[in-house]
Amino acid sequence: MKELNKMWEDNWRTGVIESSKRRYLLKEIYPKISSNEDLLKYFILAHIYNLSTSELLDSEVKLLKSFQDDDFDESELYLIFYFKEFFSDKFIELLKSSAGDKLIDRWKFAELGQDFTSFNKNHWKTLKKNLLNFKGVKAVLFVRKDRQYKGRLCLLSDEGNLVTENNLVWSVEALAKGRVNKKFYLPNGDTPTGFYSIDSVMPKADQQNLFGKHRRLKIDFVSKEEILNSFDQTLIEHHWWKNGVIAYELSRSLLRIHGTGMKNRKFYTKYYPFVTTSGCISMREDKNQEGQRILLDKLMECLELAPSIENELEIHGHLCVIEIDDRRGNVSLNDILELD
């Protein structure tokens, strides 16, 4: 349903006037709902915008029955988990008692994904060892749990060492924050932590106001099965990769690494001068630095390719996005060296 999906993907502005407008729109939408997926989105949005209506109880009953009848996309259980405060205790109780093994496994997986712990030296040592099994560039973006702070991207060599330049460890700042202040599992939310493949660049450097004058790197989610088969138990038990799997199952897609032609004029933001995105990883682009150009050239260098427009198409490898800890402040090179 076009109107409902637009509201779902939009920024959830909850001011008095905006909430009133959206409550009115939701009332108009409800009689047109024909699918379980739309009903779930309606139910969540109705609570976001404090819509009090008798249809909410009916919706909850219909949603429960659809799960009990196995008439629902299993990934939608994640949305119920993340918005469980909107559902009655009885609903959650009955859902858990009647859900099959696959649904229960997803519920437990989401719980494990929220079990935040810092990424420590042992995790880093194991990650470096495991990444030796992958071909191409090996990039790691460390971010804070609070995405208002800038992250830092480093590279690993084929020998498992931090890539250097002029005898110093090479790194570049990057931001993994969505502009609409939504969680990783929602459209346009923060970049999910996790394990990605890097698959070349976009054909053109178009839409330069949004994405800058250099081509965008394409990153894609790696399947849960491949991750389970590729990493040691130390890393499997950590939460760092799980959010990416959940985001993929909830249909997040089209993630990129790119610059921007826009300017951040909000000097007070913690991530200044970076610009937030629709969920992609953004590089700094201003008169002082062309972050995307720096990154593309370094990736080609690591692949022993001459830095050229043609060779950008040959960039391939993998990217880890990891919340290093919940400290307040930009991720520095020293934070990475302390792990190393």
Question: For position 100, what pLDDT does the model report?
Answer: 85
Cα separation of 299 and 280, whole Å?
Answer: 18
Handedness of CA 302, 298, 235, 84 (dihedral sign): negative
The residue from 84, 113, 142 where one domain ends is 113
Please indicate, yes or no, whether residues 83 and 154 belong to a single structural domain of this protein. no
Cα separation of 210 and 260, whole Å?
Answer: 5
Cα separation of 137 and 157, whole Å?
Answer: 8
Please indicate, yes or no, whether residues 330 and 212 belong to a single structural domain of this protein. yes
Report whether pLDDT(248) > 90: yes
The residue from 62, 81, 113 where one domain ends is 113
Distance, first Cα to last Cα, the chain: 50
Q: If DSSP codes are grouped into helix, strand and coil, which group holds residue 256?
A: strand
Tokens 């196995």 locate to: 70
State the average pLDDT over residues 205-228: 96
64-68, 111-115, 230-234, 295-299: lowest mean pLDDT where? Answer: 64-68
Please indicate, yes or no, whether residues 292 and 158 belong to a single structural domain of this protein. yes
Question: For position 301, what pLDDT does the model report?
Answer: 97
State the average pLDDT over residues 132-160: 97
Confidence of residue 326 (pLDDT cuts 50, 70, 90): very high
Report whether pLDDT(1) > 90: no
Number of domains present in the structure of the chain: 2
Distance from chain centroid for Cα 4: 22
The residue from 97, 113, 129 where one domain ends is 113
What is the tally of helices (H) and strands (E) in the chain?
14, 12
Please indicate, yes or no, whether residues 264 and 125 belong to a single structural domain of this protein. yes
Question: For position 73, what pLDDT does the model report?
Answer: 83
Q: What is the pLDDT of residues 13-61, one digit of tens each?
A: 889 999 999 999 999 999 999 999 999 999 999 999 999 888 899 999 9
Q: What is the pLDDT of residues 266-317, one digit of tens each?
A: 999 999 999 999 999 999 999 899 999 999 999 999 999 999 999 999 999 9
Tokens 């990769």 locate to: 241
Confidence of residue 101 (pLDDT cuts 50, 70, 90): confident
Please indicate, yes or no, whether residues 132 and 273 belong to a single structural domain of this protein. yes
Please indicate, yes or no, whether residues 317 and 207 belong to a single structural domain of this protein. yes
Please indicate, yes or no, whether residues 238 and 303 belong to a single structural domain of this protein. yes
Handedness of CA 97, 102, 103, 106 (dihedral sign): positive
**What is the amino acid identity at position 111?**
E
Please indicate, yes or no, whether residues 51 and 17 belong to a single structural domain of this protein. yes
State if pTM tops 0.85. yes
Say which DSSP state 315 is in.
Answer: -
Please indicate, yes or no, whether residues 178 and 284 belong to a single structural domain of this protein. yes
Bridge partners, residue 172, by sequence: 153
Please indicate, yes or no, whether residues 182 and 204 belong to a single structural domain of this protein. yes
Please indicate, yes or no, whether residues 229 and 284 belong to a single structural domain of this protein. yes
Domain enclosing residue 141, as ranges: 121-339
Please indicate, yes or no, whether residues 97 and 177 belong to a single structural domain of this protein. no
DSSP string for 126-165? HHHHHHTTS-SEEEEEEEESSTTS-EEEEEE-TTS-B-EE
Report whether pLDDT(68) > 90: no
Is 303 exposed, middle or buried, given 0-12, 13-18 or 19+ CB atoms closer than 10 A?
middle
pLDDT averaged over the chain?
95
Report whether pLDDT(71) > 90: no
Confidence of residue 123 (pLDDT cuts 50, 70, 90): very high
Cα separation of 91 and 235, whole Å?
Answer: 34
Cα separation of 99 and 69, whole Å?
Answer: 9
